[in-house]
């Protein structure tokens, strides 16, 4: 079957010029979006999912705003149950959010991403971890530890998150913040700050300009 589709594509190359590649790609994107949108708790107008999901779990616990762009090979996981342990996850993406390719958003608690948030590629946003930092859990294999959340993740409006950044559980990121590439955010960030590093530290804030 794969060889048949490949051969059909080869024949099309004699009928259509290379510029039609972008037309086919765009059509594919909207067909893919149309297929998946009904599975979500809500899905706003003009939002697009770029093929294809690397992983999609619990879409009924995921709300997508309007004019949202979800890049290729993104993982969206809202875990209602892992093993025999139940959870109550919720993921909310506000309007005009753009999630970069190969990013991962994973929840057993609650993740809220505000309006106008932009992420680079390979960003991780998680409200959970494999167990707690105590002797009982550390004596177990990571996969045997019960998932644990320190709290929800709240990312307020107009935040820009650089490539390969990690946002950990229990964190609130203030309005208008810039998170540097490769940063690991482990604690709350006030409004209008630039942070970088692992762990992320404030390197500039809007008050510094006054």
With respect to residue 9, please indicate whether it lies within any of the assigned structural domains. no
- pLDDT of residue 144 exceeding 90, the answer is no
Parent domain of 130: 40-205
- pLDDT of residue 188 exceeding 70, the answer is yes
Contact 87, 109 (CB under 8 A): yes
pLDDT for 210: 53
pLDDT for 16: 64
Per-residue pLDDT of 56-100, as tens digits, reads: 999 999 999 999 999 999 999 999 999 899 999 999 999 999 999
Strands 81-82 and 85-86: antiparallel
What CATH number is associated with residue 53?
A: 2.160.10.10
DSSP letter (8 states) at residue 1 = -
With respect to residue 68, please indicate whether it lies within any of the assigned structural domains. yes
Q: Which residues are catalytically annotated?
A: 130
With respect to residue 106, please indicate whether it lies within any of the assigned structural domains. yes
Q: How far apart are CA 209 and CA 126, in angstroms?
A: 32
Mean pLDDT in residue range 162-178: 98
Within 10 angstroms of residue 82's Cβ, the number of other Cβ atoms is 12
With respect to residue 191, please indicate whether it lies within any of the assigned structural domains. yes
pLDDT for 102: 97
pLDDT for 142: 85
Per-residue pLDDT of 121-134, as tens digits, reads: 999 999 999 988 88
With respect to residue 171, please indicate whether it lies within any of the assigned structural domains. yes
With respect to residue 163, please indicate whether it lies within any of the assigned structural domains. yes
The label of the residue with tokens 């946002």 reads 167
With respect to residue 78, please indicate whether it lies within any of the assigned structural domains. yes
Per-residue pLDDT of 38-60, as tens digits, reads: 999 999 999 999 988 889 999 99
- In the chain, how many domains are there? 1
Strands 129-130 and 172-173: unpaired
pLDDT for 22: 61
pLDDT for 5: 55
With respect to residue 62, please indicate whether it lies within any of the assigned structural domains. yes
pLDDT for 26: 66
- pLDDT of residue 30 exceeding 90, the answer is no
């Amino acid at each position: 079957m794969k060889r048949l589709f490949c051969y059909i594509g080869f024949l099309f190359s004699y009928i259509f010029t290379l510029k039609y590649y972008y037309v086919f790609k765009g059509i594919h994107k909207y067909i893919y979006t149309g297929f998946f949108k009904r599975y979500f708790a809500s899905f706003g107008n003009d939002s697009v999912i770029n093929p294809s999901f690397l992983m999609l779990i619990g879409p009924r616990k995921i709300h997508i705003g309007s004019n949202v762009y979800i890049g290729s090979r993104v993982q969206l996981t809202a875990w209602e149950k892992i093993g025999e342990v139940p959870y109550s996850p919720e993921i909310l993406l506000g309007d005009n959010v753009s999630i970069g390719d190969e990013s991962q958003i994973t929840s057993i608690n609650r993740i809220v991403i505000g309006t106008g948030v932009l992420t680079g590629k390979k960003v991780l946003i998680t409200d959970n971890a494999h167990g707690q930092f105590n002797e009982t859990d550390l004596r177990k294999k990571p996969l045997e530890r019960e998932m644990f959340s320190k709290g929800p993740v709240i990312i307020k409006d107009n935040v820009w998150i650089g490539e390969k950044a990690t946002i950990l559980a229990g964190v609130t990121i203030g309005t208008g913040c810039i998170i540097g590439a490769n940063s690991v955010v482990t604690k709350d960030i006030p409004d209008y700050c630039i942070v970088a590093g692992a762990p992320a530290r404030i390197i500039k804030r809007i008050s510094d300009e006054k």
